[in-house]
């Protein structure tokens, strides 16, 4: 799971809009947690 989170965080800046909102929010939440850690 850690590997997936890292990959998502790296790609967040170039995250495609065609993905679902739920996915987008989930990644955003992961990014916030990563920054807080």
Q: Which is more confident, 14 or 30?
A: 30
pLDDT higher than threshold 60 for residue 1: no
> Rounded distance, CA 27 to CA 11, Å?
10
Q: Phi first, then psi: give them for residue 30, nearest 5 degrees.
A: -65, -40
State mean pLDDT over 14-29.
Answer: 59
Per residue, what are the HEC states of 1-37?
Answer: CHHHHHHHHHHHCCCCCCCCHHHHHHHHHHHHHHHHC
Q: How many domains does the chain have?
A: 1
What pLDDT is attached to residue 20?
54
Q: Residues 6 or more apart from 6 whose CB is under 8 A from it?
A: none
pLDDT of residue 16: 57
Better-predicted residue by pLDDT, 28 or 37: 28
Per-residue confidence (pLDDT) for residue 27, from 0 to 100: 64
Give the structural domain span for 10: 2-36
Residue closest to 34 by CA, chosen among 2, 24, 19 = 2
């Amino acid at each position: 799971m850690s590997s997936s989170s890292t990959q998502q965080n790296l790609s967040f800046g170039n995250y495609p809009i065609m993905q679902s909102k739920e996915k987008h929010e989930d990644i955003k939440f992961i990014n916030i947690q990563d920054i807080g850690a």
